Amino acid sequence: MVKKTSMKDIAAHLGVSIAVVSYVMSGKKGRVSSEMEAKINKAAKELGYQPNLIARSLKSGKTSTLGLIVADISNPFFAHIARIIEDTAKQHGYTVIFGSSDESVEKSQDLIDTFLNRQVDGLIIAPPAGTEAQVKMLQKKKMPFVLIDRYFPDIPTDNIRIDNFGAGYAAADCLLKSGRRSIALISYRSGMEHIKERERGYRQALIDHGVAPQDEWQIKASYQRLESEVREGLARLQPGVGVDAILFSTNSLAIEGLKQLNRMGLRIPDDLGVVSFDESDAFDLFYVPITHIRQSLPDMGMEAVGLLLRHIKDKKHKTEEIVVGSDLVSGASCGAVATKMVG
């Protein structure tokens, strides 16, 4: 086993006391001259010194680490948020540890347990459905945490989200204004509030345009059986015949749906109008620019870190709910219904 370099080794190397080295390694400025500080830092680097973070955290009560739990880190939506959170946290001297719940209650609990055992200073969580008990447990433990993108309306918590009702309304409104009338909604089979709010916005837009929402226009898919259930749902909808437009409530649903629509030989927007929630690099490869709801991910990520750090600093702070912006990015996929010539 390779022996780790200690502060004692650095002190012996430079011929100074261990206390002097300790002052520098612990960041206590003003105890030693700047010249000595530079020598100690240089020696530490040359000798390969690594600080004992566990010992340091036991002494300070902090690890300067944050835990982040998202549904799927491979999803561009969560990957972008994670990067913003990581960069913002670093500016404040924190390191972020990531984990994906895969929309599983059990995996979410495992990640929370792991992060708590690692003694992270706080958590940022995009909670799966059915994890209310986990949130209440964190509150009972007085563990600082922030919910991001999703929240539980019956549990007061720090959370960051968009106006999902307004965004769902804007997405459906775009299709309605393009002349579409039989508009389907494909969403996850979930009891989460953000999905329900998007559905409510969609239905209200139809009603305001004089279109009666039909239950058969709403298709639900599970995260675990995404491909097969989207395929089966589209077969029931008979797009291009049964419905003339589809609103996808997440980018992962949209990507899978576009694959299936291509296989069915349907052209967008000629046969079918399409709008999606959230951005995806995959949209850039599609033959038609996809109209989508763009959430302000920089605001969401930076606000989440700022809110969590306020919570860490003041355990008795008042609960904050922050609604960040979103906008509709127009693309050709929401194009007007083609007018057929009669001759």
Per-residue pLDDT of the chain (343 residues; tens, 9 = 90+): 456 777 888 888 888 888 887 777 766 656 678 888 888 888 888 887 776 655 555 555 578 999 999 999 988 889 999 999 999 999 999 999 999 999 999 999 999 999 999 899 999 999 999 999 999 999 999 999 999 999 999 999 999 999 999 999 999 999 999 999 999 999 998 889 999 999 999 999 999 999 999 999 999 999 889 899 999 999 988 887 889 999 999 999 999 999 999 999 999 999 999 999 988 877 877 888 999 999 999 999 999 999 999 999 987 788 999 999 999 999 899 876 543 333 2
Length of the chain: 343
Q: How far apart are CA 191 and CA 189, in angstroms?
A: 7
The 10 Å Cβ neighbour count of residue 275 is 29
> Which residue from 16, 42, 37 is spatially nearest to 27, judged by alpha carbons?
37
Closest listed residue to residue 304, CA positions, set 71, 82, 64: 82
- The model's pTM is 0.80
Which of 254, 193, 192 minimizes the C-alpha distance to 219?
254
Assign 102 to helix, strand or coil.
coil
Superfamily of domain 63-162+297-324: Response regulator (3.40.50.2300)
Q: Which of 27, 66, 84, 60 is nearest to 312 (CA)?
A: 66
Task: Give me the torsion for CA of 307, 313, 314, 320, rounded to 10°.
Answer: 0
- Strands 291-295 and 245-248 turn out to be unpaired
In 3D space, the residue among 71, 145, 72, 155 whose CA is nearest the CA of residue 115 turns out to be 145
Give the burial class of 140: count Cβ atoms within 10 A of its Cβ; 0-12 exposed, 13-18 middle, 19 or more buried: exposed
Where are the domains positioned within the chain? Answer: 7-51, 63-162+297-324, 164-295+329-334
The DSSP bridge pattern shows strands 326-329 and 291-295 to be: antiparallel
Please give the C-alpha separations between residue 232 and each of 214, 219, 222, in angstroms, as whole numbers. 18, 9, 12
CA dist., res. 181 & res. 212, Å (int): 9
Q: How big is the CA angle at 243 (ends 209 and 328), to the nearest 5 degrees?
A: 55
pLDDT by residue (tens digit) across 29-71?
566 788 888 888 888 888 877 766 555 555 555 789 999 999 9
| CA separation for the pair 172, 191 (Å, rounded) | 21
Output the pLDDT for position 28.
65
Whether CATH 3.30.420.10 fits 164-295+329-334: no
63-162+297-324 with 164-295+329-334: one CATH topology? yes
Q: How far is CA 144 from the centre of its chain?
A: 18
CA atoms of 151 and 157, how far apart (whole Å):
8
